[in-house]
């Protein structure tokens, strides 16, 4: 087990050593979104009766931060070490593939949770955000980030060494956190505009369990089907929210048919 702990420790150190960029910066960015959206929408939108829009918004932003950072870590760490070649040190060692996979996934989850917690703690200083069911919140955050980054790792690890230099992937991870992505990202839009499960969990909604599980399930499934970038989230969210099976099937078809065009679709959904 020493090997596994060493790798986990190394992966944690890897982002912790540059925590200014990997933890603090995302926390700040997320808080800026909070500032802007709450300023613009506070007086116009009410998602739940009796809940202020900003209070409604915070859980969504926390979750967004968790997902994005878990994703970004999964892309940056493995791909970075493949491109620079220092992945050989890990591959030369007797670590089993399961240990490698678990260590990377756990480190990504840790970064996601750290950023999410950071955002939540800062907002607590200004707003009263009730946390009624901590186990559910934790479960959702854990499963959400794990499903996302696990899918990515699985794909990366499965690939042969010589196809390591997938620069577009790096580009993806870099733009994941860009404003363009967040504003035009329908997953974020869904998080912002609809009473999605995470908010429900935070605000203790009874309808939570089934829809939550369905959504995480879809999410994980699609990740494992090789579609794991944030933009696919648009259709994913729609599938999870589909009214009936026919609609869901149609959406799944659209998703696979247009996978390479998800960027455009995403932009269109936001504008129309």
The contact set with another protein (CB under 8 A) reads: 2-3, 5-7, 9-10, 13-14, 17-18, 81, 84-86, 88-96, 161-162
As measured in angstroms, the least distance from the Cβ of 102 to another protein is: 14
As measured in angstroms, the least distance from the Cβ of 21 to another protein is: 12
Of the two residues 92 and 246, which places its CB atom closer to another protein in the complex?
92
Of the two residues 1 and 210, which places its CB atom closer to another protein in the complex?
1
Of the two residues 4 and 48, which places its CB atom closer to another protein in the complex?
4
As measured in angstroms, the least distance from the Cβ of 93 to another protein is: 4
Of the two residues 92 and 257, which places its CB atom closer to another protein in the complex?
92
Of the two residues 77 and 199, which places its CB atom closer to another protein in the complex?
77
How far apart (Å, rounded) are the C-alpha atoms in residues 257 and 265?
A: 12
């Amino acid at each position: 087990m020493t090997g596994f702990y060493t790798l986990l420790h190394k992966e944690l150190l890897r982002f912790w050593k540059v925590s200014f960029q990997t933890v603090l910066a995302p926390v700040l960015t997320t808080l800026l979104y909070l500032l802007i959206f709450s300023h613009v929408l506070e007086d116009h939108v009410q998602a739940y009766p009796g809940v202020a829009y900003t209070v409604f918004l915070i859980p969504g932003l926390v979750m967004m931060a968790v997902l994005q950072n878990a994703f970004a870590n999964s892309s940056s760490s493995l791909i970075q070490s493949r491109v620079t070649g220092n992945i050989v040190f890990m591959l030369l060692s007797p670590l089993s593939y399961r240990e490698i996979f678990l260590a990377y996934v756990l480190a990504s989850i840790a970064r996601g949770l750290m950023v999410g917690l950071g955002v939540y703690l800062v907002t607590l200083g200004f707003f009263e955000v009730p946390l009624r069911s901590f186990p559910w919140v934790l479960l959702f955050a854990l499963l959400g980030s794990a499903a996302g980054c696990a899918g990515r790792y699985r794909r990366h690890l499965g690939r042969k060494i010589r196809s390591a230099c997938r620069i577009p992937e790096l580009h993806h991870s870099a733009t994941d956190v860009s404003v363009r992505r967040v504003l035009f990202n329908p997953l974020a839009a869904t998080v912002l505009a609809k009473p999605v499960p995470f908010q429900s969990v935070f605000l203790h909604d009874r309808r939570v369990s089934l829809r939550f599980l369905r959504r995480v399930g879809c999410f994980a499934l699609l990740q494992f089907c090789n579609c794991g970038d944030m933009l696919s989230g648009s259709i994913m969210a729609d599938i999870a929210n589909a009214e009936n099976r026919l609609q869901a099937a149609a959406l799944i078809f659209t998703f696979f048919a247009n996978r390479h065009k998800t960027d455009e679709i995403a932009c269109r959904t936001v504008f129309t």
